Structure 1
Amino acid sequence: MELREATIDDVETIRSIARDSLHSTYTDFLDSETIDDAIDQWYSDGFADELESDDAVVLVVERDDELVGYSQSDLVGQQYGTGRILWLHIDPAARGSGTGVRLLVRTREKLLDSGADQIECFVLADNEGGNEFYREHGFERAGQRKVDIGEETFTENVYVEQDLGDEGWGTVDELDIDGTTVYVNYGEAARGSQSPFYVAYEDQERTTQYGWFCGNCDSLENAMGSMGQIECNVCGNQRKATRWDASYL
């Protein structure tokens, strides 16, 4: 899995994924014509210009060299202090493999790296699956707002990160990797040269650490050295040593 910033060359595929995703999820309360009109309006020629904007963050996710999802966010407020995840779409054929969770995590990380100190997520109140997704992955509803789609007005729920005290934000994903079941906590991350590493546990309660999950190639073939360095034996992603060993001084 590769996650990267979107480019002009991705626009047509992004539009196609948005159309397929909305048709598979929203037709219970939006008719097909309204969806198509909205897609044409949202992802017209102006969307390419948005990719170049300093306050826009659009990420795409690829599997086997094929784009299967994207997130669309922006930075607003004083000094761009609020990162808003406006859309997160996964191709219906690629759902159920944890791709959406990984895209959510990386989008959050990108917004924080870009200067945001709080994250908001938006999803239509009628989209039961979308609301459940955010509730299950470290967010809670904080309010609502009205949005116009076509000639109709809908209620959109606003989610913020749950207050977990000293633990901070986190979401745990159960993964089966080469026959091994691990529980990856995306709230415990270490910066890598290509992508973050995340702590993987043997149990859902997170009492016993299994190792480190490489966010670049989805492997567990790595370990932390005595000075905090981590290197993935599969893709070469690495985290440099973070402290001096006193015995060398």
Structure 2
Amino acid sequence: MNIREPTATDTRRVRELVESAMTTSYALSPQQIETLAEAKFGEEQLTRRIESSGTVIRVADSEEWDTIVGVVVAEREDETGEVRWLFVDPEHRGGEIGRKLFETATETLRELGARRLRATALESNTEGHQFFERFGFEETERRRVEVGDESLVEYVYEEPSSAGERTVDSEEADEGTDAAADDDFPNTESVDGETTVPTDDGRVYLDLDAEQSGTEGAFFTVYTDETHEEQFGYYCRNCGSLNVSMDTVERIECNECGNTHASRSTEEYDDSYL
């Protein structure tokens, strides 16, 4: 995956990605989604943002699919930087794309002189709120925003430290990366440096290098042994379940939360979706 600045030729794909992500994750009607996407990500509006010195826009390119799979839009005004929009293609979620885009945007805002960082999410965004809280951002206010003829509620999150540094308690600091791993991978335990999932018969071992994308979170191959020789099945990162099945066309599905991965070759990919 490559994160870069967009060009004017990317506007159509970005608009399609935004509508697809909103349809999956926003509790809005199709008409509301179309209005919002046109007002904020129409070709003219997006081109103007790309050319604006006060706006930070980054897109994530998938080398495998040769298309844009994520976009983040942030704005800086004086010493305040605000992440306004963050979208990841539903077919490519679970691969840390959102995290990398968010970190790139906030780092760029700091480089441009922002000392105060904020992020916003519409109330109708069913997934964005917990995402910002994972980075230590806290809800500070709720405000009304007008989009076309729509009046929507927007949540504002802010980094608690004015210096842009997350406060970490002593217990979390002592645990180091293991604490973060446990948060990101539910129902797992770190044993001798290995990420494992407890079972009724003992435990199984995750191969963190064998990742498959999912609509809600990534899937990881699971083995019965530390050397990763005998495959047990798959682990769903969205809910932490091992109750995952694969059908004859290599479609992976979590039977607990409905997270799904559909294996598609480049030839099978619908060009109209690009």
Instruction: State the TM bucket, normalised to the shorter chain.
Output: 0.5 to 0.7
Distance in 2 between residues matched to 1:205 and 1:66, nearest whole Å:
30
Q: Give the equivalent residue in structure 2 for 1:146.
A: 144
How far has the Cα of 1:33 moved from its partner? Answer: 1.2
Equivalent pairs: percent with the same residue? 27
Conserved in 2, the CA contact under 8 Å of 1:121 and 1:160?
yes
Q: Given residue 45 of structure 2, which amino acid in structure 1 is its aligned partner?
A: G
Q: Given residue 9 of structure 1, which amino acid in structure 2 is its aligned partner?
A: T
Q: Give the equivalent residue in structure 1 for 2:272.
A: none
For 1:162-211, what per-residue CA distance to the aligned partner results, in whole angstroms no more than 9, with x for missing partners? 3499x92289xxxxxxxxxxxxxxxxxxxxxxxxxxxxx662379xxx9x
Q: Given residue 155 of structure 1, which amino acid in structure 2 is its aligned partner?
A: V
* SS at structure 2 position matched to 1:51: helix
RMSD: 2.7
1:137 counterpart (103, 124, 135): 135
* SS at structure 2 position matched to 1:128: coil
Conserved in 2, the CA contact under 8 Å of 1:137 and 1:170?
no
Q: Give the equivalent residue in structure 2 for 1:198.
A: none
TM-score, normalised by the number of residues in structure 1: 0.63
Residues 95-134 of structure 1: pairs in structure 2 closer than 5 A: 95-134=93-132
Q: Give the equivalent residue in structure 1 for 2:22.
A: 22
Q: Give the equivalent residue in structure 1 for 2:237.
A: none
Conserved in 2, the CA contact under 8 Å of 1:34 and 1:149?
no
Q: Give the equivalent residue in structure 1 for 2:189.
A: none
How far has the Cα of 1:152 moved from its partner? Answer: 3.0
Structure 2 gaps, min length 5: 169-175, 182-192, 194-208, 210-274
Distance in 2 between residues matched to 1:162 and 1:148, nearest whole Å:
27
* SS at structure 2 position matched to 1:203: helix
Distance in 1 between residues matched to 2:75 and 2:119, nearest whole Å:
11
**Is 1:61 aligned to 2:36, yes or no?**
no
Distance in 1 between residues matched to 2:145 and 2:109, nearest whole Å:
23
**Is 1:73 aligned to 2:70, yes or no?**
no
Residues 186-205 of structure 1: pairs in structure 2 closer than 5 A: 203-204=178-179
Distance in 2 between residues matched to 1:18 and 1:126, nearest whole Å:
14
Q: Given residue 60 of structure 2, which amino acid in structure 1 is its aligned partner?
A: V
* SS at structure 1 position matched to 2:39: helix
The change in CA–CA distance for 1:62 and 1:123 in structure 2 (over 3 A counts) is same
With 117-126 and 39-48 compared, the bigger mean Cα shift is at 39-48
Q: Given residue 24 of structure 1, which amino acid in structure 2 is its aligned partner?
A: T
TM-score, normalised by the number of residues in structure 2: 0.58
Distance in 1 between residues matched to 2:162 and 2:52, nearest whole Å:
33
2:91 counterpart (90, 93, 109): 93
Conserved in 2, the CA contact under 8 Å of 1:34 and 1:150?
no
Conserved in 1, the CA contact under 8 Å of 2:73 and 2:85?
yes
Distance in 1 between residues matched to 2:104 and 2:124, nearest whole Å:
26
How far has the Cα of 1:58 moved from its partner? Answer: 0.5
Distance in 2 between residues matched to 1:121 and 1:21, nearest whole Å:
18
